[in-house]
Structure 1
Amino acid sequence: MGRVRAVRRGLLVAAVLLAGWAGGGGPAGAGADGGRGALTFVTAGDLTDYLGPLVAEWNAERPAEPVTLVELPESADETRAQMLSELRSGSRRFDVLNIDVAWTSEFAAAGLIAPLERGRFGLGAFLPPVVDTATFRGRLYAVPYVTNAGLLYYRQDVLDAAGERPPRTWAELARLARTLAPRHGLGGYAGQFLPYEGLTVNVTEAIGSAGGTVLREGDARVGVDSDAAREALAFLAGGVREGWIPAEALRFKEEESRAAFAEGRLLFLRNWPYVYADAGRPGSKVAGRFGVAPLPGPDGPGRSVLGGSNLAVSARSRHPATAADFLAYLTGERVQRQVLTRGSLPPVRASLYTDPALVAAHPYLPILRESVLAAVPRPKSARYDQVSLAVQAVAQDVLALRASPEEGVRRLTRELAAIPHDGPIASGP
């Protein structure tokens, strides 16, 4: 089934790209008066097939302004590369882009996406932290579409049998992972520690939970040379050294860590909300035996990094008025409800987190709301890709015990200082 979907997606992308070349670089209907007309909506691969029906509903209601959905590879890195290649070439092919929240600053600084009017989208109804992910230099460059925050998954049955509660601090997590987990033949704690974007997220969360930051908000200056950063790296490295973070966790991405928890091999797991439904399915060894809690921090609940995606309009779109309407449609309450019920993705509208019917179907929503409200965005930089690579490389050496936390902080400070974080916004096409 996965191969069939991949082939279908590849044919669809090829057809759209060929149509763009044949039509002079713009989608069908380009040039409509008043910035209105057909759109092309580009996104990473839709694993749950929920976007197609949403686009079909729009097309049924707005036949004069149809939207063509283009799915790029499911890999975030490949999606980003293809989007950037198209936009930097001056192509008008893509009108609306579904981008990772971490890319908003990069795309905005490069002049690839257009600034938006704040008053158009009812942002006051959104969870406040998610709106911050859509801004750069104080201007709105995207509209939050779905959000995400890390949660702590734990074996409820194991903690109950020992008379323990879910850990609220790093010390409690370490104690239980070090002492209780081995008694049940379990690994203690895992996150996403392979050197990729997931490692950047885990390290940024730990630094933020300790009260620190990678880049200072507002001026994008390096802020990682701090006791908080040293404490965060020491916490993670100590888990590897003492064995309560299993060595195999250094090779985990989201799916590997999810599988380890669902197979009953971990006491604690840091991961995204999608794991909740998966771990509860028939066949999971932990179905009915696990719970979720906010991530712990040094002295109490910690702070997650915000995940999710934002919707942006290409700076070269010929139909920005229709594009703005499409953004409002996808972020309206009716569609946001479907984003959760059809796509199992956390919505951005605050009211949905206290909706009794939704909470009954998705019991993690109140905890997720708490985590989102306390969450921090990833570092805002015009060169976020370089920031992430630097964090990954340094954290990998610290977790592999090749460098001390102090050495890691010094090196990361030097490498981040060499990156132009707040470069000029390009003049645009």
Structure 2
Amino acid sequence: MAQRRAFLRRTTLATALALLAPLSLGACGSSAGSSGGADTLRVMDYYTDQPDRGIYAKVLDACGRQNGVKIEREAVAGPALIPKVLQQASSRTLPDVLMLDNPDLQQIAAGSALAPIGDFGLSADGYAKGVVDASTYQGKLYGLQPVTNTIGLFYNKDMLDKAGIEPPTTWAELKSAAKKLTSGRRYGIAFAAPATYEGTWQFLPFMWSNGGDEKDIATPEVAQALQLWVDLVGSGSASKSVVNWSQADVDDQFAAGNAAMMVNGPWQFPVLDKDKSLHYGVVQIPVPETGDTPVVPLGGETWTIPQTGNAQRQAKAAKVVACLNSDENQLALAEQRQTVPTKTALMDKFAAEQPRMRAFTEQVRNARARTGELGKDWPKAATRIYTAMQTALTRGATPAKALKQAQDG
């Protein structure tokens, strides 16, 4: 997403990562870009836009000073980051600290470009399980993620109040509310279902909360979740254009009053807050039945220590990564970036201080990593999921048939 969430920007990721196989990244000897002493560390991330660029410049410089090093930072636009990482791995010029979108970590770790952070005394004890899973490859931890994010159900308070409707908590309530709220040019609900990883990301809470699994999407559980979306579009409660909308497009529809509810993330707060007449709230993603637990995907970025071959610099890099993940920095970054701290002990304090983040924070406790089960093969599953979504939503096949075709294809 253009607004800070670069975890959805890399539609070219699969192509770029296909280059990993021939690179033979293993144990990169002495990295040309990381030779010499440890008084300066090179850091690379994809925070090119404000306010994130400035937020991370401040915290990285502070962590550098705390550990007696100067930070030389390079911010690379999201789509260009992975190709650059692959090129630097091949030329042995990787930075000392590398930020990665969390679903990218396992594929980069598989090429031996990253060092297990346990080698430097770091651990993820006390972090949310899904966050740990996202930074783990073949049983070893390769990164630490200070903050995370996910999606929830936004609703227009004025529209729901006028209709006498409470924010829905179950699928049945969601369908009923969306139908009642649909009027004229206004749809009851908006969501993003494009043929990209972004579409898969939006569907995962419905699929996972119903017991669906990415290892095999041709199951009744996944079909039921997809049928929900098909029913919302088929009834006119959601626009047929969802198959082309990004999350930014969905936000535009909601902000303009063309949708009473939407599935989206907290990165939209700054955009929505520009309109002082817009009164909105956020609740957790509705679940199949009362009492079910929503299971949502985790976004955000993890900080890693590349295999530079320079033990002294790696030790300093580990201290900077640890500093980024301190309690103080987790809470500060979460507040400034509309994200959630990843240490579970900090979540209650954060939700109390940031009440509009409560729904996201509660969901993170039970959230899953997209790569948690399939690791570096996740992109194949994500593609199958959005392919089936497109087929079913455009009436090319029933949800069950569309999922079977995608799974077998």
With the length of structure 1 as denominator, give the TM-score of the two structures.
0.80
Which residue identity lines up with residue 347 of structure 1 in the other structure?
P
The change in CA–CA distance for 1:144 and 1:261 in structure 2 (over 3 A counts) is same
Deviation, structure 1 residue 122: 5.3
Q: Which of residues 52, 60, 65 is equivalent to 2:57?
A: 52
CA contact (8 A) 1:204 1:214 kept: no
Could you tell me which amino acid in structure 1 is paired with residue 73 of structure 2?
A: L
For 1:27, what is the secondary structure of its paired residue?
helix
Distance in 2 (alpha carbons) for counterparts of 1:122 and 1:106: 20
> 1:151-180 deviations in whole A, cap 9, x for unaligned?
110112222223221111112111111222
* Other-structure match for 2:203: 203
Q: What TM-score comes out, normalization by structure 2 length?
A: 0.83
Matching of residues 121-200 of structure 1 within 5 Å: 121=122, 123-182=124-183, 185-200=185-200
Give the secondary-structure state (helix, strand or coil) at the position aligned to 1:67.
Answer: strand
- Pair 1:259 & 2:252 matched: yes
Matched, 1:346 2:363: no
The 3-state SS of whatever aligns with 1:298 is coil
Residues 400-415 of structure 1 mapped to structure 2, 5 A cutoff = 400-415=394-409
Paired residues of 1:188 and 1:268 also in contact (CA < 8 A)? yes
Conserved 8 A contact 1:210-1:298: yes
**Paired AA for residue 208 in structure 1:** W
Secondary structure of the corresponding residue to residue 275 of structure 1: helix
Q: Secondary structure of 1:110's match?
A: coil
What is the correspondence of 1:345-384 to structure 2 with a 5 Å cutoff? Answer: 345-355=339-349, 359-360=352-353, 362-379=354-371, 380-384=374-378
SS of the residue corresponding to residue 355 of structure 1 reads: helix
**What amino acid does structure 1 have at the position aligned with 2:337?**
G
- The one-letter code sitting in structure 1 at the alignment partner of 2:141 is L
- What is residue 308 of structure 2 aligned with on the other side? 316
Q: Which residue of 2 aligns with 1:26?
A: 32
Letter paired with 1:148? N
Q: Which of the residues 69, 73, 84 maps onto 1:69?
A: 73
| DSSP 3-state at the match of 2:261 | strand
SS class of match (2:263): strand
CA-CA distance at 1:412 after TM superposition: 2.4
Deviation at 1:118, TM superposition (A): 8.3
Q: Does 1:232 find its partner at 2:200?
A: no
Q: Given the superposition, is the C-alpha separation of residues 365 and 203 from structure 1 closer, same or farther in structure 2, using an over 3 Å criterion? A: closer
Q: Deviations over 1:401-425 (max 9, x none)?
A: 222212222122224xxxxxxxxxx
**Residues matched between the structures, number:** 372
* CA displacement at 1:72 relative to structure 2: 0.8
Tell me the distance in 2 between the aligned counterparts of 1:315 and 1:118: 12
Residues 262 and 285 of structure 1 are in contact (CA less than 8 Å); yes or no, is this contact kept in structure 2? no
The answer to whether structure 1 residue 276 and structure 2 residue 281 are counterparts is no
Q: Per the alignment, in what secondary structure is the counterpart of residue 364 of structure 1?
A: helix
5+ residue gaps, structure 2, are: 3-29
Instruction: State the distance in 2 between where 1:97 and 1:285 align.
Output: 41
Flag structure 1 segments of 5+ consecutive residues without an equivalent. Answer: 3-23, 216-222, 416-429
Aligned to 2:85: 83
Counterparts of 1:298-309 in structure 2, within 5 Å, are 298-300=288-290, 301-309=293-301
CA RMSD of aligned residues (A): 2.4
With over 3 angstroms needed to count, the CA separation of the structure-2 counterparts of 1:84 and 1:187, relative to structure 1, is: farther
Mapped to 1, the partners of 2:276 and 2:203 lie a distance apart of 29
User: 1:395 is matched with which residue?
Assistant: 389
Equivalent-residue separation in structure 2 for 1:235 and 1:118 (angstroms): 46
- The CA deviation string for residues 199-238 of structure 1, in whole angstroms up to 9 with x for no partner, is 11123222101111102xxxxxxx3231111111211122
Equivalent position amino acid for 1:229 in 2: V
Change (3 A) 1:391 1:144: same
Contact 1:27 1:39 in 2 (8 A): no
Distance between the aligned counterparts of 2:84 and 2:384, measured in 1? 22
**Is residue 117–residue 123 contact of structure 2 (8 Å, CA) maintained in 1?**
no
SS state at 2:340 partner:
coil
In 2, the alpha carbon distance for the partners of 1:97 and 1:212 equals 33
Residue identity opposite 1:273 in structure 2: P
Q: What residue is the counterpart of 1:420 in the other structure?
A: none
Query: How many angstroms apart in 2 are the aligned matches of 1:123 and 1:25?
Result: 27
Please list, as runs of the form range in 1=range in 2, the aligned pairs for 1:316-335 lying within 5 A after superposition. 316=308, 318=310, 319-335=313-329
Map 1:93-104 to 2 at 5 A: 93-104=94-105
CA contact (8 A) 1:92 1:317 kept: no
One-letter amino acid matched to 2:288: P
1:173 maps to a residue whose letter is: L
Partner of 1:21: none
Residue equivalent to 2:10 = none
Q: Distance in 1 between matches of 2:120 and 2:178?
A: 48
The CA distance in 2 between the partners of 1:266 and 1:57, in whole Å, is: 43
Question: Distance between the aligned counterparts of 1:292 and 1:398, measured in 2?
Answer: 28
Structure 2: distance between partners of 1:160 and 1:209: 28
Contact 2:149 2:265 in 1 (8 A): yes
AA matched with 1:231: Q
Deviation at 1:59, TM superposition (A): 3.3
Aligned to 1:297: 287
1:42 maps to what in 2?
44
